[in-house]
Amino acid sequence: MIDLENVAYSYGGGELLSDITLRLSPGSFHFLTGPSGAGKTTLLKLFYGALMPTAGHVRLFDADVRELTRDDIAMARRRIGVVHQDCQFLNHLTVTENIALPLLVSDRDMLAEDANLRELINWVGLTQRANALPPELSGGERQRAALARALIMSPDVILADEPTGNVDWEMSQRLMRLLVELNRMGKTIMIATHDLALIRAAKSQVQARVLRISNRSLQLAGADL
């Protein structure tokens, strides 16, 4: 799905990430953890082509990102659902329209997806807020809306950056169950979080690998969680 080979990244100063090799194979479940500022968000951005590696190779669906056109990257993003850490929406459209936005921009038949859309909104518990505008949502509601938007295209890969940062334990467990469920259906999942309790709770439900960024490189965390 997504391959990183000896990847390094720097924003201009020193290297933030170096020599990272990682393969997200279909159906895998990963957690990405590390202290604040370690580069979790940066690594996820490399996964969906928002950043180009300063060294090494990133392959999206077997194509080197450096060789992809802008349209190719757009097409790849339709197969990668991303929950951004700072969930951004179109503030003049309702929650429902925002969640359906990926369908709209990829010219999908909205009527055919309508039932799907309702079910998803119900799943993330936003049915009551379906017609609200994004600025009217709470932090947790925004994260749930962002998750729904990431899932609406039924993507092969789901990248979630702190998807439970603003929700209570109950809701975070619900969202995790949804992600585990999607993983059982064959989706590849990568969740960046520094909430170790979340990772521990998930480990009982799913075979997950935990990756930790420390000293600019990626390490497999063992049972020491």
Ligand X SMILES: Nc1ncnc2c1ncn2[C@@H]1O[C@H](COP(=O)(O)OP(=O)(O)OP(=O)(O)O)[C@@H](O)[C@H]1O
Asked whether position 41 contacts Mg ion by CB under 5 A, the answer is yes
Q: Which is nearer to ligand X, 16 or 152 (CB)?
A: 16
- For 115-154, the DSSP string reads HHHHHHHHHTT-GGGTTS-GGGS-HHHHHHHHHHHHHTT-
Least Å distance, CB 93 to ligand X, is: 27
Q: From CA 23, how far away is CA 127, in angstroms rounded?
A: 37
* Structure-block tokens of residue 97: 């329209």
Q: How many residues in total does the chain contain?
A: 225
* Radius of gyration for the alpha carbons in the chain, expressed in angstroms and rounded: 17
Binding residues (CB under 6 A) for ligand X: these are: 11, 16, 34, 36-42, 85, 194
| 173 in contact with Mg ion (CB under 5 A) | no
Answer with the entry of ligand X, another protein, Mg ion, none that 105 interacts with (C-beta below 5 to 8 A by kind).
another protein
> SS3 of 102, please?
helix
Cβ distance 30 to 191 under 8 Å?
yes
| Contact criterion met (CB below 8 Å) for 65 and 56 | no
Of 224, 194, 177, which Cα lies nearest the Cα of 85? Answer: 194
What track of x and - describes contact with Mg ion for positions 71 through 100 (by CB under 5 A)?
Answer: --------------x---------------
Which of Mg ion, ligand X, another protein, none lies near 11, with the C-beta cut-off 5 to 8 A by kind?
ligand X
Closest CB 163 distance from Mg ion, rounded Å: 12
Single out the residue of 20, 33, 62 nearest to residue 222, CA to CA.
Answer: 33
Say whether 25 sits in a helix, a strand or coil: coil
By beta-carbon proximity to another protein, the closer residue of 16 and 199 is 16
Residues that bind another protein (CB under 8 A): 45, 49-51, 70-71, 73-75, 77-78, 82, 84, 88-93, 97, 101-102, 104-106, 110, 149, 153
Q: Looking at beta carbons only, is 51 or 178 nearer to another protein?
A: 51
Closest to another protein by CB, 147 vs 176, is 147
Closer of 79 and 194 to ligand X (Cβ) = 194
Contacts to Mg ion by CB under 5 A: 40-41, 85
